[in-house]
């Protein structure tokens, strides 16, 4: 029997990152789960918190009010295409079909219709054949959504634009590899990767997880930021139509930040020390008493 949803954490370990010859890696299980469940759409919101804009490496006037969503195709591209490696050569195939592109663009347009009706299609159509198919399909679909302003941007330009003018974006849709990289860049806008949740949806059971990877070095130290995981729970509730419950979780997170109940990497100078468990307990108490 399928579960209604999966709340997932993070996988990975530096010992695998630095061993190119490793035959088994934790990420293989994650990719297999996405493929098995048909989770082709990864929804990653990038939203700033007013009390944390000073933590962003960007100027306050650039990031305050930034609020956009990256729709990342999750089961195609180089991560799943044909691969080969020996001591002299290696390749990864960036393979996409029209069907895969159409369905993820449809998700992008649906989100744009619910937001500010602006969709940016990110590709590398000046170099990659796979990106030229992406752009061709997007140009064919755009007239079906006349209410949405559709623009097209090369991935290198998009990466630069996210730093120069993050408030330009509303909904961004792109392929697997580009989406992985751009959303990590997006986390810097908010001031911490520990603040961004995500939802992976598609053919079967949806998965909700923070976008940050694992942090084995922090094991047992009680310093990891739990907010991205908690906000992933808010996305889970909202996915099932429980909007009030999701809103309460978000309100609790904002309240904890405003009260300076924060883990070390986002705490204000001279602020009280709170660990992972302390922050979680404070938010539970807030929700319980609401």
Query: Of the listed 96, 109, 145, 180, which one is catalytic?
Result: 180
- Give the CA diameter of the chain: 62
Element (H, E) at 31: helix 26-37
Please tell me which residue in 55, 124, 170, 274 is annotated as part of the active site. Answer: 124
**Paired tokens of 269:** 């100078």
CB 74 within 8 A of CB 200: yes
180 flagged as catalytic = yes
Q: Which of 67, 184, 222, 278 is catalytic?
A: 184
Catalytic: 124?
A: yes
Query: Is residue 246 within 8 Å of residue 238, measured between CB atoms?
Result: yes
- 209: β partners: 198
Find residue 123's DSSP bridge partners.
154
The CA distance from 92 to 222, in Å, is: 38
- Active-site entry in 136, 156, 258, 273: 156
Catalytic residue among 40, 55, 79, 286, which? Answer: 79
110 contacts: CB under 8 Å, gap ≥ 6 = none
Where on the phi/psi map is residue 38: left (φ > 0), alpha (ψ -120 to 50), or beta?
left
What phi and psi, each to the nearest 5 degrees, are found at residue 202? 170, -125
CB-CB contact of 200 with 188 (8 Å) = no
Residue 184 falls in the annotated catalytic set? yes
Beta strands in the chain (DSSP E): 6-7, 41-47, 67-73, 83-85, 90-92, 118-123, 149-154, 171-174, 197-201, 207-210
Contact yes or no for 95/163 (Cβ under 8 A)? no
Q: Among all residues, which ones are annotated catalytic?
A: 79, 124, 156, 180, 184
């Amino acid at each position: 029997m399928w579960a209604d949803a999966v709340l997932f954490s993070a996988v990975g370990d530096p010992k695998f990152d630095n061993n190119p010859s490793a035959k088994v890696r934790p990420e293989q299980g994650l990719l297999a789960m996405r493929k098995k469940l048909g989770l082709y759409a990864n929804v990653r919101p990038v939203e700033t918190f007013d009390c944390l804009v000073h933590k962003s490496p960007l100027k306050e006037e650039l990031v305050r009010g930034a609020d956009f969503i990256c729709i990342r195709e999750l089961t195609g591209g180089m991560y799943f295409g044909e691969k080969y490696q020996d001591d002299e050569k290696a390749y990864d195939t960036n393979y996409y079909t029209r069907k895969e592109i159409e369905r993820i663009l449809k998700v992008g347009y649906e989100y744009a219709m619910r937001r500010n009706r602006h969709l940016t299609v990110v590709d590398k159509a000046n170099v990659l054949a796979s990106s030229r198919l992406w752009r061709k399909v997007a140009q064919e679909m755009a007239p079906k959504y006349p209410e949405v302003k559709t623009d097209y941007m090369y991935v290198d330009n998009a990466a630069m634009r996210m730093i120069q003018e993050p408030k330009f974006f509303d909904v961004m849709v792109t392929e697997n590899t580009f989406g992985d990289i751009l959303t990590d860049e997006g986390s810097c806008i908010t001031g911490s990767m520990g603040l961004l949740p995500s939802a992976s949806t598609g053919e079967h059971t949806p998965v909700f997880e923070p976008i940050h990877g694992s942090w084995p070095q922090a094991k047992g130290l009680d310093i990891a930021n739990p907010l991205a995981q908690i906000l992933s729970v808010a996305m889970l509730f909202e996915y099932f139509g429980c909007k009030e419950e999701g809103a309460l979780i978000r309100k609790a997170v904002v309240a904890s930040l405003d009260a300076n109940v924060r883990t070390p990497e986002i705490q204000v100078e001279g602020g009280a020390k709170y660990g992972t468990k302390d922050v979680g307990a404070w938010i539970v108490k807030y929700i319980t008493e609401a």
